[in-house]
Amino acid sequence: MIACPVDPAEFFSAEAIQDPYPLYERLRSAGPVHQVGDSGFYLACSWPAITEVAARPQDFSSNLTATMTYTADGGVVPFPMDGVGGATHILVTADDPVHAAHRKLVLSQFTAKGVAALGPLIHDVFEQQWAAGVVDGRIEWMDTVANRLPMMIVARLIGVPDVDTDRLAHWGCATTQLLDGLMSAEELAASMTAITELSGYIVEHLARAIEDPHDDLIGELARACRGGQLSEFTAQLILVSLFSAGGESTASLLGTAVSTMAGSPQLQEQLRNSPELLGAFIEETLRLEPPFRAHYRHVLRDTDLCGVRLPADSRVLLLWGAANRDPQHFEAPDEFRLDRPNSKGHLSFGRGVHFCLGAPLARLEATTVLRLMLERTTWIETVDVGPWLPSVLARRHSSLELAVR
């Protein structure tokens, strides 16, 4: 079977960027796999198609070899990773056995005990940011809390100074922008500059850690470098990936969760009366609005996916947000239900060997922040909800102004 084509102009349109779900529904209804124009990029949009890709790493590599870029004439071209140092075989974009080896190196910082130990820090950072951000009953949520708190926690976990948080957040955002698909030449140049600056920062701090490693994540990597298990260059790339993705998921989740709660008086009242429902609320927020709309896979050989022929060296974009609303898997998929069975059974943190290592930390951060926010207010309302970032991958509010009392 040949994949049904989707018009790149529709996939990259402002309407689809701001609300992709009507398009996702049309794509699912037409078939599980679609080709973007006549390019070598394909979209997997059903639950069976996406979970099958995740279960077949021998055919679908996580290695990020190229991303999709929309052109001024309405077409799509690959943005090869050769332009930013080459195809990445690092942690989240590596296949086994490299992926397993990298994951083992950082796993000690993400154990249940290690994540739980960060609870008091998350509490203190929220209190600090909340006190500084609320002025005359208003707060700009994204800049003050959602974007800053996760990076402050990541900085402490990795082992770099808290005072560098703003720079790290800027650099991390710039690196994920490379995957947006809608960057101008000027934006691309700015992202490349930011990546160079982040790389220089990491080189400096890794060198210090190799000289004197501590009990933090950069110390674990430094000890691996000293013992010959890891090259310094690979350690640097692992740190780049952690800084770029480490704050993105939780920043998105905090923004979406708070805008959802503030925009629904009934839901907010329910959570205030029954805070034990916060866990279910967070999972349903994740299902309906995944922090990352999609991730890429590289097709290693000629193969079939749900009956659709895919050529070797093509790329498949796994649309997590489309699978999370597949009516063949979820009853009333567009409804927000706090009593949904198997509430964690979504794909927003990935699937299989690449299930997000930081998922427990993101859940703890969101639970702690939302609980404290409810305790310190009697009501929250949205004043202005900024547009979603212009990206086919990241799903995060650009701004969110709240009125609180």
Of 111, 109, 125, 112, the C-alpha closest to 369 is: 125
Q: Report the length, in residues, of the chain.
A: 405
Residue closest to 253 by CA, chosen among 120, 46, 395:
395
Q: What is the largest CA-CA distance in the chain?
A: 61
The residue with tokens 């910082």 is 109
How far apart, in whole angstroms, are the C-alpha atoms of residue 118 and residue 112? 10
Distances, alpha carbon 170 to alpha carbons 163, 166, 217, 244, 248, in Å: 13, 6, 21, 9, 11
What is the enclosing helix (H) or strand (E) of 122? helix 119-133
What pTM was computed for the model? 0.94
Domain boundaries defined on the chain: 4-404
CA nearest neighbour of 33 among 372, 352, 323, 371: 323
With the C-alpha atoms ordered 348, 354, 356, 360, is the resulting torsion angle positive or negative? positive
Judged by DSSP in three states, 36 sits in strand
Name the residue type at position 202.
I
- Domain covering 4-404: architecture: Orthogonal Bundle (1.10)
- Could you read off the pLDDT tens digit of each residue along the chain, which spans 405 residues? 667 789 999 999 999 999 999 999 999 999 999 999 999 999 999 999 999 999 999 999 999 888 899 988 899 988 887 655 444 677 778 888 888 888 888 888 888 998 999 999 999 999 999 999 999 999 999 999 999 999 999 999 999 988 888 888 888 888 777 778 887 777 878 888 888 898 899 999 999 999 999 999 999 999 999 999 999 999 998 998 888 877 889 999 999 999 999 999 999 999 999 999 999 999 999 999 999 999 999 999 999 999 999 999 999 999 999 999 999 999 999 999 999 999 999 999 999 888 898 999 999 999 999 999 999 999 999 999 999 999 999 999 999 999 999
Please tell me the number of Cα atoms within 13 Å of 300 on its side-chain side. Answer: 10
Cα separation of 257 and 260, whole Å? 5
CA–CA separation, 238 vs 254, rounded Å? 25
